[in-house]
Amino acid sequence: MPENGFVDYYEILQLGQNADSETIERVFRLLAKRYHPDNSDSGDEAAFRLVHDAYEVLIDPEERAKYDVRYDENRSINWKIFEQSAAMGGQEEDRRIFRGVLSLLYAARRKNPRSGGLGSVDLERMLGVPREHLEFPNWYLKKKGWIEVLDSGQFAITVEGIDTIQAEQLAVPHDRLLEEGPGREPQAGEPPGSEPVQGPAEPAGAPQPAEAEAERPRPVWDRTDPPR
């Protein structure tokens, strides 16, 4: 918590000050589901409490009006371009979303090579990430040429995006694949879609996994800054 005791609830929900009630409600439900202590994968009691507190204030018109007065005062006094710790946390979240978006669009393109894509609502639902939080990752991936927007308005992975996945040998977690995605049959006790994306067969004499791991370059988004 900042030294002056002020908590930026808009930052916690990653929303602008002009966000409407419907957006606040939708973003809260997604973040609450992610951070709920009962979520064995991403549960975080402290984060869940902060998200809940932010929602309770911002969803109530009267409380929000009083909070906005303090918010504007605090921003004018303590304005900063960015806080380093928040920036680092944001980069980690962005990397997770980059991989998630590419994985989902890869699966969609494999199902329908000509026009396989997903809309922003589909990505929001499958990734558990509000549409507003996907704007920067989608912009970045489009600028890199890894995804494109189809005539239907859906996002689709490009050849360059597929090459990136294959070059980095990114495994696609089972919770990032479409349920009906193609691939091998799941083994006993294994959830559908848990298989990794298979690249082209390795030529004879290819380095062994340990050797390949040592030689493999870091993912592009881990070694370069987003385009400006």
Determine which of 3-17, 82-96, 144-158 has the lowest per-residue pLDDT on average. 82-96
pLDDT at 146 over 80: yes
- Residue-by-residue DSSP string for the chain: --TT----HHHHHT--TT--HHHHHHHHHHHHHHH-TT-TTT--HHHHHHHHHHHHHHTSHHHHHHHHHHHHHHHHHS--S--HHHHHHHHHHHHHHHHHHHHHHHHHHHH-TTT--B-HHHHHHHHT--HHHHHHHHHHHHHTTSEEE-TTS-EEE-HHHHHHHHHHT----GGGS-TT--SSPPPTTPPTT-SPPP-SPPPTTPPPHHHHHHHPPPPHHHHSPPP-
pLDDT digits (tens, 9 = 90+) for 105-123: 998 898 889 888 998 888 8
Please, what are the domains in the chain?
Answer: 9-77 (1.10.287.110), 84-223 (1.10.10.10)
Q: What is the pTM of this model?
A: 0.47
If we measure between CA atoms, which residue out of 214, 206, 216, 209 comes closest to residue 168?
A: 216
Torsion from C-alpha of 119, 125, 126, 127, nearest 10 degrees: 100
Looking at residue 192, what is its pLDDT? Answer: 43
pLDDT at 53 over 90: yes
pLDDT at 208 over 70: no
Looking at residue 76, what is its pLDDT? Answer: 56
